[in-house]
Structures are given as structure tokens and as C-alpha cells.
């Protein structure tokens, strides 16, 4: 009888990439959660303002998708094929593209913040606080885009530890600056919501300069170059733009979904915002495994070993699904204990707890969505994920949510439409991955 053998080297390789990336993603969400906890001591209006502001800036992160997918698709293949000179050229090209892209984005969000809050139809107090918050945050957009290229490029080569160490220092500094600027300590005047915005700006600028120093000092896999190649940029955009279209339309859809929630009450909106951040504690580790799936998919294809890519992605999927299944128990059975750290408003606590209990039921298919979407994008198959995600999002989530919110007064039906979308997408993404047409795509 043949005994079951475990390829320890493969597990070690995947965990070496996945765990630091998962922890780094978790720290990203903890930074956001820390901001919400600290402004939560001010009022529910402050929570709603900051929460909506963070969602507004998700449009920026949708643009970052072109940098993430394009950078990963090129550099992971160059790294897997041992062509790091081309990798360095691609990296320099994408850095300059990120800088150029950041200029119109900064101007758009600085002058459009007020219109966004007005469009959401929230209370006038939320509009005033939120507009100030977003206007300040836009000052960090150039630094965020450049930093994102650094992080994605390092992840594509399998180095997820460096971004993790940078983030650990960053989140400690962020908490300290929040304490000083929000509440007015060490002789600084209390700034409230504006204080949390300025703390975030300063921390992100500092992170960028750390990466820049590592690059200039030759402490990354990329030789420092001042270079721009239209050909390499076109190759990155070929796979990155469909992912950006998908992400932008998805974020727009989420804005509509948030507007549905906001129509119930300010407490429902605040509870939804808190629930989203807590859920992030569960799916941010899943995103860490997604980063590993993207990198390993590209590296395997770059080395012309598609079966290795398939095996690596399946193993990453097993880890992600197991972890998110474990975390779902806390969301379903002890939501009140977690929510209590964010607010002491009873109605807001009830709304956030309900959200967590519902989404806790969909964590395994959510793991499939994260990992398989990332794997397909890493292979350059971003057009397929665009079709699957958008059709499911609108047909299964947004349109039914509008109808159900109009017909039923209970918000639970809106949340049921939301998790139904998660299950449907997981099914079709699995079918796309299993068919293996991504093996034939050239980047």
C-alpha cells in the first residue's frame, strides 16, 4: 500500500510567501480598524464619515488594480523565467507610469469629495466631516501608487516579508499619531476626524520613502534604473486594464449597495461600516493567500510549468479556505464581543452583529473568489474574471438588493442577496480555473 506523501518543500514555499502576505494584509485592515475604533469614541457620525470616506477611496484602489495585476503578471513571469534584467526594466517603467497616473487622480478626488458625500444622501454632519477627511487623504495618493508598485513587485518575486516588516512599523506609528492628533496630546490641538486623516497621510509617505531607500541602495531584486518602455507598459496594461475596469465597476456597485443600507438609518450605515472592517480581519488573510496564488501562477508559467502553477494554486486554495472557515465561527457565534470594541451604541452594535452573522456563512466561497480570481489574473486571464464578477454582482447582488429593500423593511434580505453573489461567483471561477484555458494566454 502506497503511503500518502507530503511535499514539504512545496508547503514551505507556499507558506513562506502566503503567511507574511496574509499578515501584511491583516495589518492593513488593522490600521483601518484602529482608525475606526479611535474615531468611534467621538460619535456614530464620525464613524459613518470615516467609513464612507474609506469606501470613497476604494475607487483609488480600483485604479491600483492595474498596477497590481500588470506588475505581477510581468515581473512574476520574468522572475520565474530568470529574466530579471527585463524585470528591472518593467519595474522602472511601472514606477513612472504610477507617478503620471497619480496626478489626475489626486486632483479629481480633492475637488470631488463633497459631491461624493452629497450623492450618498447622508446627513449634513456626515457630509461636512467626510469631505474634510477625504480632501486630506488625497494628498497621499502619489505616494500610495508608487508604494503599491514596490509592494506588488516584491510580492511577485516571492518577497512578502519586506512589506510585512515595513507595515509593522507603520501601524505602530499610525496608532501613536492617531493618539496625538485625534485627541490632542503632547501639546497638539485635538483635530478629531481630520487628525486621523493627517496621521494616515504621514504614515503612507514614510512607507514610500522606506521602499525608495531600499531600491536606491540595491536592497531589492531590481537594479535602480531611470527607464520607460511603452512596449512593457502596453503588456502590463493588456492584463491590468480589464482588472481595473472590473474593480472600478465593482466599487461603483458597492457604492450603490451602501446607498441601499444608508436608506435604512444612520445606525444601520455605521453598523455596516463596522461590520465590513471586522469582516476584513477574516478575509485579509485570504487576500494574503491570493497574493501568493498570483505570484506562484506567474512564476510557474514563466518557467513554462503550467502543472506546477495548478498544483501551487490548489494548495494555496486549501490553506485559504481552511483559515477563513475557522474565522467564520467567531463571526457567526460571537459577533457582539467583537463589535463592542468599536462602539457602545446599542443599535449600531445590533446592526453590525447581524451583518457579521450573515457574511460568516459565506467565508469558504469567499476564499474561492479571492484565490481563484488572483490566480486567473496572475495568468493574464483578467477578461474572464471581469465577466464573471460583474455579471454575478449585478444580477445576483445589486438588482435583487434594490428590489428586496423596496419590498421588505428588514435589512436581512439585502444581506442575503449579498452572500448569494459570493456563492455564485465561487462556482463560475472554479469552472474557469478547472478548464485550464489560462495555460494558453500570453502576456
pLDDT in tens, 135-154: 888 889 899 999 999 999 99
Answer whether residue 212 is part of any domain. Answer: yes
| Residue 16 burial (C-beta neighbours within 10 Å; 0-12, 13-18, 19+) | middle
Q: What is the mean pLDDT of residues 11-36?
A: 81
CB 147 within 8 Å of CB 208:
yes
Report helix, strand or coil for 4: coil
Residue corresponding to grid cell 428588514: 410
Digit-coded pLDDT (tens) for 194-238: 888 899 899 999 999 999 999 999 999 999 988 899 999 999 999
Residue 122 — pLDDT band, cuts 50, 70, 90?
A: low
Question: 58-80 vs 84-120: helix axis angle to the nearest 10?
Answer: 170
Residue 4 lies in a domain: no
Q: What is the pTM for the complete model shown?
A: 0.80
pLDDT of residue 1: 37
pLDDT band at 120 (very low <50, low <70, confident <90, very high): low
Indicate whether 355 pLDDT > 70.
yes
**Confidence band for 172, pLDDT divided at 50, 70 and 90:** very high
Q: Is residue 2 situated within a structural domain?
A: no
Where does 222-305 have alpha helices with state H? 230-262, 266-302
pLDDT in tens, 264-301: 777 788 888 788 878 877 777 787 888 889 999 999 99
Question: Across all residues in the chain, what is the average pLDDT?
Answer: 86
Q: Tell me, what's the pLDDT at 2?
A: 40
All three cell numbers of 185: 496630546
CA 224 to chain centre: 28
Query: Residue 442: which pLDDT band, with cuts at 50, 70 and 90?
Result: confident
Q: Is residue 23 part of a domain?
A: yes
59, part of any domain: yes
Report the pLDDT averaged over residues 97-121. 80
Q: Which of 138, 117, 120, 112 is nearest to 128 (CA)?
A: 117
Does the residue 161 lie in any domain?
Answer: yes
Of 117-131, 173-187, 189-203, the poorest mean pLDDT is in: 117-131
Q: Domain containing 103: what range?
A: 9-440
Query: 227: helix, coil or strand?
Result: coil
How much is the average pLDDT of 27-53? 76
Burial class, 128, CB count within 10 angstroms (exposed 0-12 / middle 13-18 / buried 19+)? middle
pLDDT at position 4 is 41
- 3 located within any domain: no
3 has pLDDT over 50: no
Q: Indicate the burial class of 66 (C-beta count within 10 angstroms; 0-12, 13-18, 19 or more).
A: buried
Number of domains within the chain: 1
Give me the helices (H) in 81-157, please.
84-120, 124-137, 141-156
As a whole number of angstroms, the distance between CA 268 and CA 287 comes to 27
What percent of the chain is helix, strand and coil (3-state, nearest 5)? 85, 0, 15
| Segment 250-259, tens digit of pLDDT | 777 777 887 8
Is 422 inside a domain boundary? Answer: yes
Residues 6 or more apart whose CB falls under 8 angstroms from that of 131 comprise: 113, 114, 117
Angle subtended at Cα 21 by Cα 378 and Cα 294, rounded to the nearest 5 degrees: 5
In whole angstroms, how far apart are CA 381 and each of 148, 201, 248, 368? 21, 34, 17, 16
Q: Is 231 helix (H, G, I), strand (E, B) or coil?
A: helix
Amino acid at each position: 500500500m502506497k503511503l500518502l506523501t507530503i511535499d514539504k518543500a512545496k508547503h514551505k514555499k507556499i507558506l513562506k510567501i502566503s503567511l507574511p502576505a496574509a499578515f501584511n494584509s491583516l495589518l492593513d485592515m488593522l490600521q483601518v480598524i484602529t482608525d475606526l475604533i479611535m474615531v468611534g469614541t467621538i460619535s456614530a457620525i464620525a464613524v459613518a464619515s470615516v467609513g464612507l470616506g474609506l469606501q470613497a477611496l476604494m475607487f483609488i484602489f480600483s485604479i491600483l488594480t492595474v498596477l497590481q495585476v500588470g506588475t505581477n503578471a510581468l515581473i512574476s513571469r520574468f522572475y520565474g523565467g530568470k529574466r530579471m534584467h527585463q524585470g528591472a526594466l518593467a519595474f522602472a517603467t511601472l514606477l513612472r507610469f504610477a507617478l503620471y497616473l497619480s496626478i489626475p487622480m489626486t486632483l479629481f478626488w480633492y475637488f470631488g469629495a463633497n459631491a461624493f458625500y452629497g450623492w450618498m444622501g447622508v446627513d449634513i454632519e456626515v457630509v461636512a466631516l467626510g469631505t474634510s477627511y477625504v480632501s486630506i487623504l488625497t494628498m497621499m495618493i502619489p505616494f500610495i501608487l508608487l508604494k503599491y508598485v514596490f509592494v506588488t513587485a516584491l510580492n511577485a518575486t516571492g518577497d512578502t516579508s519586506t512589506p510585512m516588516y515595513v507595515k509593522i512599523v507603520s501601524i505602530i506609528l499610525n496608532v501613536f499619531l492617531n493618539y496625538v492628533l485625534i485627541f490632542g496630546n503632547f501639546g497638539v490641538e485635538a483635530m478629531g476626524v481630520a487628525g486621523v486623516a493627517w496621521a494616515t497621510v504621514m504614515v503612507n509617505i514614510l512607507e514610500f520613502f522606506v521602499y525608495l531607500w531600499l531600491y536606491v541602495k540595491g536592497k531589492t531584486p531590481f537594479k535602480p534604473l531611470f527607464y520607460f518602455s511603452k512596449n512593457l507598459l502596453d503588456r502590463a496594461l493588456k492584463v491590468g486594464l480589464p482588472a481595473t475596469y472590473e474593480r472600478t465597476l465593482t466599487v461603483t456597485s458597492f457604492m450603490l449597495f451602501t446607498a441601499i443600507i444608508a436608506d435604512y438609518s444612520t445606525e444601520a450605515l455605521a453598523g455596516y461600516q463596522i461590520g465590513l472592517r471586522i469582516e476584513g480581519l477574516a478575509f485579509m488573510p485570504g487576500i494574503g493567500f491570493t497574493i501568493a496564488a498570483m505570484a506562484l501562477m506567474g512564476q510557474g508559467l514563466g518557467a513554462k510549468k503550467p502543472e506546477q502553477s495548478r498544483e501551487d494554486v490548489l494548495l494555496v486554495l486549501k490553506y485559504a479556505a481552511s483559515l477563513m472557515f475557522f474565522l467564520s465561527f467567531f463571526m457567526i457565534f460571537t459577533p457582539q464581543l467583537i463589535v463592542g470594541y468599536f462602539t457602545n451604541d446599542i443599535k449600531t452594535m445590533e446592526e453590525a452583529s447581524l451583518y457579521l452573522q450573515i457574511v460568516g456563512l459565506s467565508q469558504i466561497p469567499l476564499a474561492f473568489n479571492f484565490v481563484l480570481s488572483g490566480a486567473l489574473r496572475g495568468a493574464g486571464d483578467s477578461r474572464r474574471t471581469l465577466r464573471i464578477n460583474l455579471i454575478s454582482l449585478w444580477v445576483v447582488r445589486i438588482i435583487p438588493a434594490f428590489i428586496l429593500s423596496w419590498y421588505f423593511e428588514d435589512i436581512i434580505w439585502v444581506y442575503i442577496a449579498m452572500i448569494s453573489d459570493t456563492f455564485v461567483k465561487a462556482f463560475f471561477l472554479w469552472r474557469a480555473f478547472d478548464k485550464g484555458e489560462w495555460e494558453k494566454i500570453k502576456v
